[in-house]
């Protein structure tokens, strides 16, 4: 029986630039091809010759999985297999990436256009054949449109999770916990050592916080990522039937418009529609200024306060103790959001000042925590190879050791450039 070879091109002991090449029976397929940001400069995965690729499977739209893809469309047009929703959101995010990156990006709108023309759309639970390979796609529960991919060849079955969440959120159904028998699982490890608090409890604390602030005449600013988190927050607010005015700003508006065209990917599409209908979509600066004048809720990117209209709202609102800033996503160290949480200060433009409004952080993660990762891995059969990717150096090895000890499975924590045989 011929072997299957897995080449780690990116995302080995790092979170960013995910890229995995799989070779079997003369076929080569690629899972994701992302970008990583360190010190502002984009870093791409190891090279792969696009003309040798038979198909690319894109797990979801986040740039750490999609941001390198246009590089593969400079001279070739490899088939890009993903959900229609992921393709459209990816286009939006890469357009924005090109726009903000300026001259140093090694591709342009033309390559993005070729990429979009190469999309073969699939849905959850679809199967397809690529020569001797059989491929199936499952909901990954991470962001709207996200998939896990199961690949079968030579009587072997391999799963690539992409980014994954097994719990139900307001917006999305969790990824299925019951998986078929696998010979290898390539699984993300973002929260290798961290457990998330109970989701319902977090929601309740969040709603209580909003109620306290707005009933007291204040405004709650919720800086949130455009894709997924903004809509999740709006759905939570709607599910608890809060009557306060809600304002939606930034790229979250464009992302929401795309999502509204794809009902099938949502857990409760009606809730999403109602949540988005109830919100006031900002259409210009006068709307923005108005939103700062009356008690209510403002949802606006960027999620870590690194640019976007959230910065405008911070300048307007954060000096007033009546108001609040509720951060709802992971804050990368060094970002203004992280600095705000750690030291209670914000750069208001002219100088760095103490923030007077209430500042809180809520864990509405869209990734499995440590507990959920172990739950998935604990169900694997005894000869399944566990390949851990997409995790911070240090933490990811710790998770690996834990799996070996607890489940006696073979664990591989590859570095970029490593090759694994199945």
Give residues in contact with Zn ion (CB under 5 A).
62, 64, 163
Smallest distance from Zn ion to CB 332, Å: 13
Continuous segment of H or E residues that includes residue 385: strand 385-389
- Residue count of the chain: 422
Cβ proximity to Zn ion: between 146 and 323 the closer is 146
Phi-psi region of 68 (alpha: psi -120 to 50; beta: other; left: phi over 0): alpha
| Closest-CA residue to 271 (of 261, 282, 263) | 263
In the complex, least distance from residue 76 CB atom to Zn ion, rounded to whole angstroms:
25
CA distances from 141 to 68, 146, 251, 400 (A): 23, 7, 22, 23
Q: Could you tell me which residues are beta bridge partners of residue 28?
A: 23
Beta bridge partners of 82: 121
Retrieve residue 110's tokens: 């033309």
Question: Nearest approach, Cβ of 172 to Zn ion (angstroms)?
Answer: 12
Nearer to Zn ion, 246 or 388 (CB): 388
Shortest gap between Cβ of 163 and Zn ion (angstroms)?
4
CB of 228 to Zn ion, least distance (A): 9
Nearer to Zn ion, 152 or 163 (CB): 163
Instruction: Find the shortest distance in angstroms from Cβ 61 to Zn ion.
Output: 8
- Minimum distance, C-beta of residue 24 to Zn ion, in the bound complex (Å): 25
Residue with tokens 């006031």: 280
Strand bridging mode 219-223 / 280-281: unpaired
Cα–Cα distance measured from residue 385 to residue 387, given in angstroms and rounded to the nearest whole number: 6
Q: Enter the DSSP assignment of 228.
A: T
Q: Please state the closest distance from residue 227 (CB atom) to Zn ion, in A.
A: 9
Nearer to Zn ion, 36 or 272 (CB): 36
Quick one: which of 189, 188, 227, 198 has its CA closest to 363? Answer: 198
Helices vs strands, H then E, count in the chain: 12, 24
User: Residues near 244 by Cβ (< 8 Å), separated by ≥ 6?
Assistant: 210, 214, 295, 296, 297
Nearer to Zn ion, 88 or 163 (CB): 163
Choose between 107 and 330: whose C-beta lies nearer to Zn ion: 330
Between 19 and 246, CB nearer to Zn ion: 19
- State the residue for tokens 């739209």: 61
């Amino acid at each position: 029986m011929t072997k299957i070879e897995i080449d780690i091109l990116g995302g080995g002991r790092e979170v960013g630039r995910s890229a995995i090449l799989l070779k079997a029976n003369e076929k080569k397929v690629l899972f994701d091809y992302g970008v990583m940001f360190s010190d502002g400069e984009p870093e791409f995965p190891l090279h792969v010759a696009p003309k040798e690729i038979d198909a690319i499977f894109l797990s979801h739209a986040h740039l750490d999985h999609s941001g390198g893809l246009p590089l593969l469309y400079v001279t070739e047009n490899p088939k890009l297999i993903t959900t229609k929703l992921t393709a459209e959101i990816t286009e939006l995010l890469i357009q924005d990436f090109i726009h903000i990156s300026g001259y140093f990006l090694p591709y342009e709108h033309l390559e993005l256009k070729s990429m979009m023309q190469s999309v073969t759309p699939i849905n959850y639970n679809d199967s397809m054949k690529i020569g001797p390979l059989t491929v199936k796609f499952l909901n990954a529960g991470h962001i709207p449109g996200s998939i896990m991919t199961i690949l079968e060849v030579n009587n072997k079955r391999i799963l690539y999770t992409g980014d994954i969440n097994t719990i139900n959120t307001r917006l999305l159904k969790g990824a299925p916990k019951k998986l078929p028998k696998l010979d290898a699982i390539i699984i993300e490890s973002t929260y290798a050592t961290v457990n998330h608090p109970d989701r319902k409890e977090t929601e309740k604390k969040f709603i209580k916080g909003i109620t306290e602030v707005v009933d007291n005449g204040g405004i709650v600013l919720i800086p949130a990522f455009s894709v997924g988190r903004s809509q999740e927050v709006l759905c939570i607010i709607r599910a608890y039937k809060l009557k306060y005015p809600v304002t939606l700003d930034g790229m979250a508006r464009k992302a929401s418009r795309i999502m509204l065209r794809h009902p099938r990917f949502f857990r409760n599409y009606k809730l999403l529609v109602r949540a988005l209908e109830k919100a006031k979509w900002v259409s210009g600066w006068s709307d923005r200024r108005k939103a700062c004048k009356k008690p209510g809720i403002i949802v606006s990117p960027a999620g870590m306060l690194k640019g976007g209209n959230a910065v405008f709202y911070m300048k307007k609102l954060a000096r007033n103790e009546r108001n609040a800033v509720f951060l709802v996503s992971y804050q990368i160290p060094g970002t203004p959001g992280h600095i705000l949480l750690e030291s209670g200060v914000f750069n208001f433009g002219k100088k760095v000042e103490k923030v007077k409004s209430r500042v809180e952080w809520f864990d509405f993660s869209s990734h499995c925590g440590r507990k959920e990762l172990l739950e998935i891995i604990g169900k694997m059969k005894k000869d399944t190879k566990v390949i851990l990717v997409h995790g911070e150096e240090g933490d990811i090895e710790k998770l690996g050791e834990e799996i070996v000890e607890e489940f006696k499975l073979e664990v591989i924590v590859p570095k970029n450039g490593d090759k694994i045989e199945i």
